[in-house]
Chains A and B, each alone.
Chain A
Amino acid sequence: MPSLTPSQTIGPFLHIELPYEGEEALVAPNHPGAIRLLGTVTDGQGDAVDDALIEIWQANAAGRYAHPEDSRQDVPLEDGFTGFGRCATDHEGRFEFLTVKPGPVPGPDGRMQAPHIDVSVFARGLLNRLVTRIYFPDEGDANAADPVLSLVEDEAGRRTLIADQDDGALRFDIRLQGEGETTFFVI
């Protein structure tokens, strides 16, 4: 069997190729239930990370992934919704997506997971991507029962994974290191 090709940093010049026009908008502005999902990426000194790339992956509002391995015919796909978004941070470390809240999807043991968005963070200084998840502030009961969120032992660590309401938008700040450090997962 062939062996894995190692990961390397995305470096500071990713903008030459990767951000693709319109990829930060998973839905049109007039889409029912469209939400702005935004945040700032900061490093261990509290400085803005202005050369990060954020990617998100999510199910549609009904809880179906636009992918062949989600073969649940009883949950509808939505025409034109890919579930993937990509956004480079700006000079103040900010990113912003336009998307919808995903529906719940199955988890281990047949239990449903709380609505969530998978996130990849790439940047200069990150030799591997960082993976985290965005959960929703209005899903208290589902979040408390979520099999992945429950793996995070401390309350402060779980708290970093739940977005905040922010003036009609949803805010999810990403702190790579230090105080308030975002919980990251090994997948």
Chain B
Amino acid sequence: MTSPEEQATVKDEKEGTVASELTRNGGVLGYRRDDLEINPPYLYPDYASTRTRAPKRPLVPMPHTLSEVTGPVYGDTRIGELDHDLTRQHEDEPIGERIIVHGRLLDGDGKPVRNSLVEIWQANAGGRYRHQGDQHPAPLDPNFSGGGRCMTDDDGHYEFVTVKPGAYPWQNNPNAWRSRHIHFSLFGPAFATRLVTQMFFPGDPLFFQDPIFNSVRDERARDRMISSYDHDRTVEEWALGYRYDIVLRGREATPMEE
């Protein structure tokens, strides 16, 4: 694990000293806010749980300070050799359609977010989570836990091997079913860039009635949560490939040179 001191040096050499100069002066280079409008609202009544959990008071806009442009730095130390392969965490292989889920973690300028922790969790192929709160009467799979993690590489690339999660019913409204999805947790470089989202599968017939998916009102933004089938990453006689690139917030423009 690289110490923060060492990382500061590396970063300074690569990207100049604008950010650290600003820090010394008490100012920081913040993250852009303009594109946050595509995020779902807190209160989205079709998703019933938001009714008692969405704040009613207006949120208070605040500037980014040193506290928000810094954030947890994970090393490789918490990643086990098989943590990225959800099909090899038990004695035998899980039931289901074996898939490779991969893509790049990018910042808002299209640059790779390197050495950053990616965590996923999902239901098994029958649509059942290994969780005491999941009462859906579909079988648990003794060979599937449903959790994985990895670090992005120098190109911002990540990759998991897993099985395609099943759709499952939930109590939101009568005959409600969640679209097939994989939960993703991303950190990026700062507290301000933290993102938890879900990856969906192309052509899912359940989208129309899924209020979590549809809470993102902008259709193009919604489409960015849908992975694409990737024949180039499909491995002959072994697994189907799906590609899912994730874009975190970008940095405000660097101040003009004086």
B interface residue numbers (CB < 8 A to A):
3-5, 7-8, 10-12, 19-20, 23-28, 33, 35-36, 38-42, 44, 47, 49-57, 59-73, 78, 106, 108-110, 119-121, 129-131, 133-134, 145-149, 183, 185, 189-192, 194-198, 212-213, 215-216, 220-222, 224-225, 245-250
Pick the interface stretch among A8-16, A30-38, A164-172. A8-16
Q: Are A157 and B146 within 8 A (Cβ)?
A: no
Q: Are A186 and B62 within 8 A (Cβ)?
A: yes
Among B106, B109, B134, B147, max chain A CB count under 10 A is at B147
Chain A contributes a number of interface residues (CB within 8 A of B) equal to 76
Residues of B within 8 A of A187 (CB): 62, 64, 68, 191-192
Q: State the total of A-B contacts with C-beta under 8 angstroms.
A: 267
Residues of B within 8 A of A13 (CB): 121, 129, 131, 133-134, 183
Q: Are A106 and B53 within 8 A (Cβ)?
A: no
Provide the bound-state CA to CA distance between A2 and B256, in Å. 23
Give A17 Cβ to nearest chain B Cβ, in Å.
Answer: 3
Residues of A within 8 A of B57 (CB): 157, 181, 183-184
Provide the bound-state CA to CA distance between A106 and B68, in Å. 12
Contact bitstring A111-142, B, C-beta under 8 A = 1, else 0: 10100101010111111111000000000000
A interface residue numbers (CB < 8 A to B):
1-18, 20, 43-45, 47, 49, 51, 55, 57-59, 65-72, 77, 82-84, 105-111, 113, 116, 118, 120, 122-130, 147-148, 151-152, 157, 176-178, 181-187
Among A65, A113, A127, A157, max chain B CB count under 10 A is at A127
